[in-house]
Amino acid sequence: MFIRVMRWTYVSVAWIILAAVIVQFFLAGMGVFSGPSNFEAHASFGYTISFVTLLELLVAFVARLPWRTIGLTALLPLLIGFQSLFIAFWHSGLPTLAALHVINGLGIFALSGYLALRSRTVLAATKAQASMVPGVQAR
């Protein structure tokens, strides 16, 4: 029962992260089109997303997800960590390397979308496992 709850938690967090990444793109657009003072919300929200991705990784371990899923989930906070590195390049006067911030953001979007869509298979696997155990009904 605990594993099932953790898997539902993983699915929920995966979709929350995808929504948060979409909001993050909106906040970046606000910074570009409404003035640089709006980039503070983009930066702050990015740190919040990084915390949530670490939580998702912890839940993936506790939910005993397949190693491939755990590995891809671990890649997400790593990519988010690179975002700060690319901004550091910008502060160091290296705009060409800093431009990778946008490309990496697309990678984060793609990976978070893949993990959210793939998370549905986690629940299907849970139902299949429960139906194999005698006396246990899948819900």
- Exposure letters 109-136 (e unless 16+ CB within 10 A, then b): eebbbebbebbeebeeebeeeeeeeeee
pLDDT computed for residue 13 by the predictor: 97
Question: CB under 8 Å to 74, separation ≥6 — which residues?
Answer: 57
For the segment 80-89, the average pLDDT, to the nearest whole number, is 95
pLDDT digits (tens, 9 = 90+) for 24-66: 999 999 999 998 888 899 999 999 999 999 999 999 999 999 9
Question: CB under 8 Å to 138, separation ≥6 — which residues?
Answer: 126, 127, 128, 130, 131
pLDDT digits (tens, 9 = 90+) for 89-128: 999 999 999 999 999 999 999 999 999 999 988 877 666 6
Question: What are the residue ranges spanned by the domains of the chain?
Answer: 2-132
pLDDT band at 135 (very low <50, low <70, confident <90, very high): low
Name the pTM for this structure. Answer: 0.86
